[in-house]
Each structure stands twice: as structure tokens, then as C-alpha cells.
Structure 1
């Protein structure tokens, strides 16, 4: 379970699924909306905060392991992956959970570890092709 509170002063300190990079996430408000602020090195990404509950609900309905399929915004996401769902017109927000144009991808890289530390999902930590499932 997460020991951080997920605020700017006490962010979640996470590692990517393969364990190769450190990053931080915290909840904030931007333009009147709840967002997740994701800081990777000097790069700052924003995701719609509701992605946590929406992804957990989707994984519970899916009922099995799902490949993460992380990809940059400019690359196509492999179908049937968490990344593809995170940008699909079929998800609850009708498109991208990533909010910063040009940096909307990598949903399948940065959001799954948060669900793991929050106790909502189980996540693999292999060098490549990691998967997750709801708890």
C-alpha cells in the first residue's frame, strides 16, 4: 500500500514497471479539474485524475491480465493493451487520459504502478511486455 499521500508535498515515488526509471505522481488541480501530475526527470505530464478509478473498473470487467503496451503519443498503441484503452474513444472520457498535447502517451507506463501501490492492481515487473490485472 502507498505510504505517500499523493500531494505535491508528499508525492508517490514510483518506478516504471521494468524498474528502470524513477518518477513521481501527485494529485493537483489544473484549470478547475483534478489531474495527476507525473514528473519524469525534467518532463512533466498530466493525466485526468479519474483514470485511476476508470482503469480499475475496466480491469475488473476485463477479469484477466492485460498487457500494458506503453507507447509515446506519436506511436500507435498495440490493440488490446492498457495504453490503447487509455486513448480510445471507447473509454469513459472518450479519448486521451493524457492531457498535455504531444505528451499524452505513456499511460501504460506511468499509471499502472500507481494502481499497484494503491492496492488496486497486480503488476508484472519484467524487462518487457508487462501486464496488469485488478485486485
Structure 2
């Protein structure tokens, strides 16, 4: 029997879009809500699990490449990027998909490789200014 990937015991092993850093993600539940747990070194981030399907739908509606634009929570996100959408009051949840105060950013860095792994999106792997699109 093969292990289910994406669990705490068998997390997805991913690399950032530029392929410079490795991190892990898995699906969990916190306070009755499905979340993604993202572990980068000793830093643990949480994202609303809905972001996968919501981002897939946004990419499909957009229909073309969109810049990732990753940024820390404390920094403004570049308009028109995946990062800006991931914190916009106009997205399906009306704000941040990141759930841990102070660590709600970096949506455009850590969610796109998971989408690529799941076969839902294409992601560029350049040193900078990467983009993604629906598959």
C-alpha cells in the first residue's frame, strides 16, 4: 500500500519557483478549518486550504501567465500578481489566505509549486520574476 502524499507523515516536498530552497507542505485541520501547513526551515506558515481551488479558478479565468510577486506580509504586494490576489479584499475569502499573523505573506512563493505538483498549473523557474498559469 502506498502512502498518501500531502499528510503530516508524508508531506509534499517542494522547491521555491527559482529552485533555490526546499520546503514541505501538508494538509491539516486547525480549529475545524482545513489548512495547508508550510514548513520552510524552522518557519511554519499556515494557509487556508481553499486557496488551491480558488487560485485554480482565478488562473483559469485570467487565461494567461500572471506574475507571482512574492512578498512578506509587511511589504506591499505588486499589483496584478498572485501575491496581491492572495491578500486582496476582492478574492473569494475577502482577504489573506495566509493565517498566521506576521507570516501571512509569501503566498506567491509557496503555493504555486504545490499547484504545479498537483498538476493544476504551470510555473516558471527563472532566478526572478516567475509567472504561473492554469494548466
TM-score (norm 2): 0.97
Question: Structure 2: how far apart are the matches of 1:69 and 1:4?
Answer: 31
1:125/1:80 CA distance change after superposition, 3 Å: same
Q: Which runs of 4+ in 1 moved over 4 A?
A: none
Give the corresponding residue for 2:119: 119
- Compute the displacement of 1:4 (Å): 5.9
- Deviation of the 1:5 alpha carbon: 1.4
Q: Any idea what the Cα deviations from partners look like across 1:25-48, whole Å, max 9, x if unmatched?
A: 000000110000000000000000
Aligned pairs, number: 133
- Please name the residue that 1:100 is paired with: 100
CA-to-aligned-CA distance 1:55-95 (integer Å, 9 cap, x gap):
00000000000000000000000000000000000000000
Asked if 2 retains the 8 angstrom alpha-carbon contact of 1:4 and 1:12, the reply is: no
CA deviation map 1:77-120 (0-9, x unaligned): 00000000000000000000000000000000000000001000
* TM-score computed with the length of structure 1 as normaliser: 0.97
Which stretches in structure 1 are left out of the alignment for 5+ residues? none
